[in-house]
C-alpha cells in the first residue's frame, strides 16, 4: 500500500554490496518499497564490491538475503523475481583509481544522463573521500548524482572534517546524505508529531515540569562478527555520537519554524551546541564505561565475554557500554539531567525515552501521588505510555490513589506494519529530501562534544568497569543516577 507516489526512475549504486548492511538492511528495504509500488521497474540497483562475482551470482546472494531478512508473510516469489531483475553487479575496488571503473561507466551510461543516481557508500568511512574522488575522475558524478554516507563519519572531529572536506570536493552539501537510521524509525519521527502537534505535551516540555530525561538504546546481542570494526569504535562512537544524540536533539529542540529540512536541522544544531562540555578531567563524574564479562541470559544460558567474542587471547579496553549524564545549557533545560546509555549484551533489546515529570508540589491524598512519566518506546512494541495516578476503585470508601497507564501501542492502534528505518531513508535520497539526514555542522558539533570524553578515557581518567553479559550494565551506572536521587527505568518504582 504506497503512502507516497512512486519515485522517479533511479540507479542505486551500492559500494560494499557484499557486506552485512547491504544484505540485512538495504536490499530488503528496497524490496519492500518495490513490493509497495514505489520503485519503477526501469530502476536499477547496482552492487559493487571487490569479489569477482557474476550478475547471476550476486542476484543469488540477494535472493538469499531476501529469504532470510524479509518476513515470510511479506515475501512474494513473483515480486521477488521481478525485483531481482533490477539488480546488477560490477566487480570493482572503489578505493582504487585504476580499478574496473569502465565497467561501471558503461553500465551507467546506458541510462539517460539525467537519471537520478545514488551512490551509497556502505564501506569503511576512511574510503569515502577516495571513492568520491574516483567517481568524479571517471566522469560519474552527474548533476543528478547524490552520495549517501553511512555513520560513523570518522572517529573524531579531525577525521570527520577530513572526510567531509574530501567528499565535499566532488558533491555539494545538498547532494550529500549522511544517514543515521535512527531518524528513519517511525517512532523517532513520531517524536516530532507528538511534541509539535500536541500542545498538551509541548506546554510542559521544559524544566518547569520535567525532572529528568532518560534515553536508552539497549541490545542483547554482543559484538558478533563485527569485532574488527567495533573494537576500534566502541559504544560511544558507534551509538552515542550519532543515534542517541540525534534522539536527544529531537527530544530537546525548540519547535522548528516549518518542516523544511534546514529549519529542523538548525534547531537540532542549537541543542548539540548547547550541550555542556564534559572535560577530560570530568569523565569520572559524568560518564560510566563498561565492557561485558561472561554472564547468563534470564533462562540460564551462558554468554561469552567481549574478549571471548573477539577471539583467542584478545585484549581490549574498548567499551561496550556507556552511560552519560548530559546537560543542556538553555533556559528550557537548565537543571534537567539527560541520562544517555547504550550497551551490548544487556538484559533486554529496547530503545526508549523516559520523560520523568516533577511530582505535585503538595498532596491532599494519603501518601504522595507518583510523579507522571511519559515513556516513548522506540522499539520494540512501539508506542507511548503516560503513567498517571487514579483513584483506587478497589478501595471504594476512600480517596486512595493507584498508579495506572494511558497507553497507545502503535501497531495495534493503527493496524499497520512498522517499516524498517532504511525503507523511508533510501527513497528519501531519491526524492532529494534531506529532512531525516544529518548536516555537516551537526556531525561536527556532535564530535566536538564527544572528543573530550574520548580523550579523558584514553588518559584513563575514568575506570573501565565490567558487567555480566545479560545484566543491565555496570553498577557504577546506577550510582551515576543515584547521586541525583534518580534511577534507571528498570529500577523505578
Ligand atoms: C548500528 C550500530 O548503527 O545500530 C550497531 O553500528 C547497532 O552496533 C545498531 O547494533 C542498532 O540498531 P537498532 O536499529 O537495532 O537499534
Taking the C-alpha atoms of residue 34 and residue 27, their distance in angstroms, rounded to an integer, is 10
Q: Which residues are catalytic?
A: 243
- How many angstroms does the Cα of residue 196 sit away from the middle of ligand 1? 27
CA-wise closest residue to 35 among 103, 111, 86: 86
Atom 4 of ligand 1, nearest CA residue: 239
Distances (CA, A) of 288 to 19, 160, 331: 32, 25, 27
Query: Which of 223, 243, 247, 319 should be mutated for ligand 1, with most atoms under 8 A from CB?
Result: 243
Atom 6 of ligand 1, nearest CA residue: 238
Taking the C-alpha atoms of residue 9 and residue 227, their distance in angstroms, rounded to an integer, is 38
- The full set of domains in the chain, from first to last, is 10-150 (3.40.50.720), 183-419+433-491 (3.30.360.10)
Strands (E), 203-349: 210-218, 287-293, 295-296, 302-303, 321-326, 338-343
R_g of the chain, CA atoms, integer Å: 24
* CB burial readout 34-66, b (16+ within 10 A) else e: bbbebbeeebbbbbbbeeebeeeebbebbbebb
Return the pLDDT at 3.
61
Taking the CA of residue 351 as reference, the ligand 1 atom at the shortest distance is 16
Contact 29, 423 (CB under 8 A): yes
Cα angle 230, 236, 238 (rounded to 5 degrees) comes to 45
Residue 309, by phi and psi: left (phi above 0), alpha (psi -120 to 50) or beta?
alpha
- How many angstroms does the Cα of residue 180 sit away from the middle of ligand 1? 10
Distances (CA, A) of 92 to 26, 56, 96, 137, 341: 19, 16, 9, 15, 39
Helix/strand/coil for 156: coil
CB distance 351 to ligand 1 below 6 Å = yes
CA-wise closest residue to 422 among 171, 120, 58, 19: 120
One digit per residue, pLDDT tens: the chain, 493 residues? 546 789 999 999 999 999 999 999 999 999 999 999 999 999 999 999 999 999 999 999 999 999 999 999 999 999 999 999 999 999 999 999 999 999 999 999 999 999 999 999 999 999 999 999 999 999 999 999 999 999 999 999 999 999 999 999 999 999 999 999 999 999 999 999 999 999 999 999 999 999 999 999 999 999 988 888 899 999 999 999 999 999 999 999 999 999 999 999 999 999 999 999 999 999 999 999 999 999 999 899 999 999 999 998 899 999 999 999 999 999 999 999 999 999 999 999 999 999 999 999 888 987 788 899 999 999 998 999 999 999 888 887 888 888 999 999 988 888 888 889 999 999 999 999 999 999 999 999 999 999 999 999 999 999 999 999 999 999 999 999 999 999 999 998 7
Amino acid at each position: 500500500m504506497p503512502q507516497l507516489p512512486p519515485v522517479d526512475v533511479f540507479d542505486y549504486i551500492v559500494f560494499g554490496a557484499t557486506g552485512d548492511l547491504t544484505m540485512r538492511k538495504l536490499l530488503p528495504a528496497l524490496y519492500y518499497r518495490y513490493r509497495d509500488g514505489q520503485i519503477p521497474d526501469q530502476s536499477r540497483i547496482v552492487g559493487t564490491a571487490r569479489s569477482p562475482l557474476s550478475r547471476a551470482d550476486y542476484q543469488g546472494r540477494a535472493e538469499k538475503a531476501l529469504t532470510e531478512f524479509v518476513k515470510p508473510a511479506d515475501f512474494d516469489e513473483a515480486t521477488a523475481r521481478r525485483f531481482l531483475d533490477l539488480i546488477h553487479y560490477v566487480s570493482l575496488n572503489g578505493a582504487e583509481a585504476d580499478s574496473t571503473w569502465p565497467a561501471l561507466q558503461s553500465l551507467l551510461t546506458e541510462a539517460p544522463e539525467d537519471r537520478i543516481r545514488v551512490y551509497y557508500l556502505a564501506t569503511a568511512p576512511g574510503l569515502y573521500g577516495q571513492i568520491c574522488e574516483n567517481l568524479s575522475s571517471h566522469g560519474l558524478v552527474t548533476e543528478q548524482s547524490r552520495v549517501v554516507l553511512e555513520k560513523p563519519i570518522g572517529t573524531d572531529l579531525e577525521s570527520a572534517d577530513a572526510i567531509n572536506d574530501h567528499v565535499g570536493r566532488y558533491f555539494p552539501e545538498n547532494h550529500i546524505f549522511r544517514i543515521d537510521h535512527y531518524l528513519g524509525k517511525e517512532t523517532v519521527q513520531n517524536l516530532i508529531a507528538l511534541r509539535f502537534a500536541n500542545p498538551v505535551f509541548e506546554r510542559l516540555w521544559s524544566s518547569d515540569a520535567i525532572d529528568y530525561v532518560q534515553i536508552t538504546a539497549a541490545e542483547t546481542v554482543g559484538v558478533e562478527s563485527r569485532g574488527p570494526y567495533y573494537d576500534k569504535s566502541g559504544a560511544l562512537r558507534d551509538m552515542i555520537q550519532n543515534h542517541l544524540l540525534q534522539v536527544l536533539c529531537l527530544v530537546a529542540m525548540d519547535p522548528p519554524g516549518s518542516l523544511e529540512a534546514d529549519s529542523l536541522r538548525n534547531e537540532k544544531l542549537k541543542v548539540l551546541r548547547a550541550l555542556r562540555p564534559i572535560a577530560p578531567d570530568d569523565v569520572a563524574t559524568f560518564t560510566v564505561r563498561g565492557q561485558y564479562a561472561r554472564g547468563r541470559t534470564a533462562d540460564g544460558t551462558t554468554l561469552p565475554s567481549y574478549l571471548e567474542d573477539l577471539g583467542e587471547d584478545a585484549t581490549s579496553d574498548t567499551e561496550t557500554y556507556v552511560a552519560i549524564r548530559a546537560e543542556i545549557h538553555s533556559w528550557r533545560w537548565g537543571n534537567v539531567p539527560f541520562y544517555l546509555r547504550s550497551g551490548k549484551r544487556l538484559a533486554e533489546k529496547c530503545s526508549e525515552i523516559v520523560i520523568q515529570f516533577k511530582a505535585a508540589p503538595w498532596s491532599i491524598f494519603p501518601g504522595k501521588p507518583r510523579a507522571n512519566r511519559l515513556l516513548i518506546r522506540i522499539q520494540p512494541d512501539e508506542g507511548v505510555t503516560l503513567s498517571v495516578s487514579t483513584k483506587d476503585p478497589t478501595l471504594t470508601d476512600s480517596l486512595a490513589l493507584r498508579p495506572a497507564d494511558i497507553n497507545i501501542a502503535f501497531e495495534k492502534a493503527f493496524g499497520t506494519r512498522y517499516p524498517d528505518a532504511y525503507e523511508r531513508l533510501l527513497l528519501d535520497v531519491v526524492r532529494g529530501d534531506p529532512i531525516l539526514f544529518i548536516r555537516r555542522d551537526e556531525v561536527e558539533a556532535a564530535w566536538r562534544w564527544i572528543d573530550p570524553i574520548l580523550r579523558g578515557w584514553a588518559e584513563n581518567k575514568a575506570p573501565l568497569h565490567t558487567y555480566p553479559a545479560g545484566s543491565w550494565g555496570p553498577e557504577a551506572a546506577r550510582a551515576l543516577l543515584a547521586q541525583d536521587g534518580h534511577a534507571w527505568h528498570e529500577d523505578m518504582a
